[in-house]
Structure 1
């Protein structure tokens, strides 16, 4: 039996009648750009996260870029972010001309290590971009304790963490802005590309609303030098449908994680179970384990028709596109160890207990764990 890494059809088939209906309605009325469906989704998603304002944009990367611009980050400024994250987090900082300052991550959570942040703060530090990686929140209390009363803005990269919580509060609602991606495989995904910025600050929301629409405050009044970074109305309409189910899907992911935990422990592989600190609500966008002979295990899983992935095989500071920043191998030892050991197992709403059992059986039979 083949076990896919992700199976979006299982999620979509139950929603097909609603999706088909809204597609027909939008096609009939030609409401393709900045329509009422977008406004409804912006309001609904902001409310879901716990913020006053939401502004739809073209992608998670776009959400990070416009947040940086809205907060006045510019060339010469420094932005602190984890070395263990997706390329887009650092690329957004470089897009606005600022310098990404990487710090290492915690060995157990894989998220930014608050103890490393203090050493990275300089007089040029204008913002920090904590990333809620794999669906687990960062430790906000520790981060805010390090920042203290310094004038450092917080841009949350919540692109993998729709519905994740820290001490009962949704991620995305702690910083100046919260940035989300609606890439199809996310916990809340569109059928293409999309993103959202949430905030409690009306001036930030107003700037982003204009910037994403070619700088227009009203039609043909281009009051700022903006770009076309709009979230398409069709995507917003479908996301409106799916938003009603995201908590249920997250519960399914957590149940799948519980079954993985039980099966791994039964197989004597309890050391592979991902860590979830007390007071955190992990939504398991990815189910990530660490193994010494990762590449060999990945091949073994493929031989058994089991999907798996690596998030991420090359630390950002060692990418050729970041070489001019001057970082070198050995600068962030935890991140570099993780890059050689982490492996993402099949995880999606609807994955069955039998499928999870097949994955764990294949891992248990592999001798290199």
Structure 2
């Protein structure tokens, strides 16, 4: 057993039994005599790995048959450009919900390909909440609406899925696009409500480098923007079952092991309940304290990323140093917001969160 708890926002902690299985299979996968890293991506061994990974993902997320699952390279940030390249369909405008730094980056990148309309924003309160649907204003000629269900840096998370059919200016035909990178598979979600979902793997489901795209098949018929590179066309990869070129094979293998692990935990319903319990431990401690503070609106707090500050910022480095001595790593907040951040993704065990809570109580007791 490892002696540390890794609260990194990403690349993040992976289930220990997944890492142990990967270690055992490193030199020889299932008697093949090869490491997964050495396999041909078109060979029967790797094809069995990727087929099972997709099958398990479809089962876990209850992905409808009319959606394609793509395993791509480039991470989620690549999709900031690939989404407008593929979904504009002759339109000159796309709508973005601005709730923090990642949605801002997505909107900024899209601005190179079209006019970006900010549907709603929580900038007025420092990005510490989610703008309610009744405050959204969807433009009449938008190609799609993009939002970020969980802002990793600010610790703001949507606890609901936007219904564009009832949003001001919206209708049920506008594709909803979501960057689910930091809360993917942390709870059940209805795939049928989305046109496209993308998620970087390195938070909840695997190593960095892999991005998972779930796209409704009718959207594949949209002609990409002129001069869109072949590699940046969703249809290229959908037609070739993610094998147009060499995909990130080892990352897909690890993702497949995580899918198996999630199924053993009881699936997304069970993992959501565990994530709720873990987050509650820390939020309850913060709310009962005058020493710690979380700026995020209680109704919009992330279960995955918990930002908090100390009443005396001069104690920040002392807190981090002592936390590390207790085996609690990567608690420093993002440089843009400061303070602390505990990322408690699916693979963070309850014991790790309990250990953090105990340390936080002791630190407060010693420094008040």
Instruction: Tell me if TM exceeds 0.5.
Output: yes
Q: 2:118 aligns with which of 87, 91, 101?
A: 101
Q: Does 2:219 align with 1:198?
A: no
| Structure 2 CA distance for aligned equivalents of residues 216 and 109 of structure 1 | 34
| Structure 2 CA distance for aligned equivalents of residues 295 and 22 of structure 1 | 50
Checking the alignment, whether the CA contact within 8 Å between 1:60 and 1:195 is kept in structure 2 is yes
Change (3 A) 1:303 1:79: same
Q: Does 2:114 align with 1:114?
A: no
Where does the alignment leave 5 or more consecutive residues of structure 1 unmatched? 223-227, 314-338
| Structure 1 CA distance for aligned equivalents of residues 130 and 209 of structure 2 | 25
Q: TM-score, normalised by structure 2?
A: 0.67
Change (3 A) 1:56 1:205: farther
| Structure 1 CA distance for aligned equivalents of residues 235 and 89 of structure 2 | 21
| Structure 2 CA distance for aligned equivalents of residues 365 and 114 of structure 1 | 44
Q: Which residue in the other structure is 2:36 paired with?
A: 26
Q: Does 2:182 align with 1:160?
A: yes
Q: Which residue in the other structure is 1:302 paired with?
A: 320
Q: Does 2:257 align with 1:241?
A: yes
Change (3 A) 1:346 1:123: closer
The count of corresponding residues between Structure 1 and Structure 2 is 322
Q: Which residue in the other structure is 1:326 paired with?
A: none
Q: Which residue in the other structure is 1:84 paired with?
A: 100
SS of alignment partner, residue 54 of structure 1: strand
Q: Which residue in the other structure is 2:144 paired with?
A: 127
Q: CA deviation at 1:13?
A: 4.0
Q: 2:54 aligns with which of 31, 38, 42?
A: 42
Alignment of 1:1-369 (within 5 A): 4-6=6-8, 8=13, 11=16, 12-17=18-23, 20=26, 21-22=28-29, 24-27=34-37, 29-31=39-41, 36=47, 37-51=49-63, 52=65, 53-58=68-73, 59-72=75-88, 76-86=92-102, 88-99=105-116, 101=118, 103-105=120-122, 110-118=129-137, 121-133=138-150, 134=152, 136-141=157-162, 144-146=165-167, 147-149=169-171, 152-165=174-187, 169-170=188-189, 172-183=191-202, 186-190=203-207, 192-204=208-220, 213=231, 231-246=247-262, 248=265, 252-264=274-286, 267=289, 272=294, 277=299, 284-289=303-308, 291=309, 295-296=313-314, 298-306=316-324, 307-311=330-334, 313=336, 339=337, 343-345=340-342, 347-348=344-345, 349-350=348-349, 351-363=352-364
Checking the alignment, whether the CA contact within 8 Å between 1:172 and 1:179 is kept in structure 2 is no
Q: TM-score, normalised by structure 1?
A: 0.67
